[in-house]
Structure 1
Amino acid sequence: MIRNFMVAIILASISLSSAIAATDSCQEQRDDIKVKLEEALKNGNIAEQNSLKIALDKVNVYCTDERQSNRAKQNLSKKERKVKKEELDLEEAKAELDEAKINGEYLNVLKKERKTKEKELDLEEARAELKQAQDDYNRLTK
């Protein structure tokens, strides 16, 4: 039950992160800023309007699709490395659990089982992040 709850939290956080992904195309960033700017205009929020105008100017000046594609590629590589690290950590945790079982140390076995479950969740989260990074990269390199 706890495992299902944790997986749900992980997936929710990943889908939220996709909504605010740093690897949005330049046009998507402009569109998002324009929507927020219109809302700030409706609400009469001058400080927010000024901040959003500055953000829009920066996107117009500095954002290129090539740069965003490179950023997505770097993020993808980073997430691939993280998955490999989490896989190694899980293997290590399983080995420690097996060793504790061989030694017959009940409390240590419980501790190692918890650690192994934690590492499994970490790996699931890393894989979900990798999938998001792959989706971002594929979307930007079409």
Structure 2
Amino acid sequence: MSDETTPKRQRRRSSAELPIQSTLDGPTMPAACTAGPVEVEQLDGRTMAVRRYKSACDGLIAQLGGNPSVSDTMLVRRCASLMSYCEAQDARQAAGEDIDISHYARAALTLGTMLKALGLAIHSKSPRRSDVIDAHSAAILDA
């Protein structure tokens, strides 16, 4: 016996059923996403942000040799999120919009640190003399 004025009880949706919101800053999860983690494969791949995120994950996994450990997979996902965020900020800045440079710098620094942890970051090297000057100048300096 339900009364028309009493609201019907809605079942709680699982995290897989919750919509992914796409913003310029990349994919964001709804606040109600407390039922558990969302697997990358469950994301709606129609938005540009999710396609870019998946592409970044796939690229990083390929660089790792194709069979990452669980901890590497977690780092890959975080790297892909930060890559998406940084790319969105790059696009906004290129379009003439103001961005929060401190957030951007922090994200870029964190991304570099995570890529180093995965062994994927290119470390800068001190330039060799031969890279900077030609052979004739190097011979004069050595004389």
Structure with bigger strand share is 2
Note whether the superposition's TM-score is higher than 0.5: no
Look at both structures and tell me which one has the larger radius of gyration over its CA atoms.
2
Q: TM-score, normalised by structure 2?
A: 0.22
| TM-score, normalised via structure 1 length | 0.22
Higher relative contact order (CA 8 A, sep 6+): 1
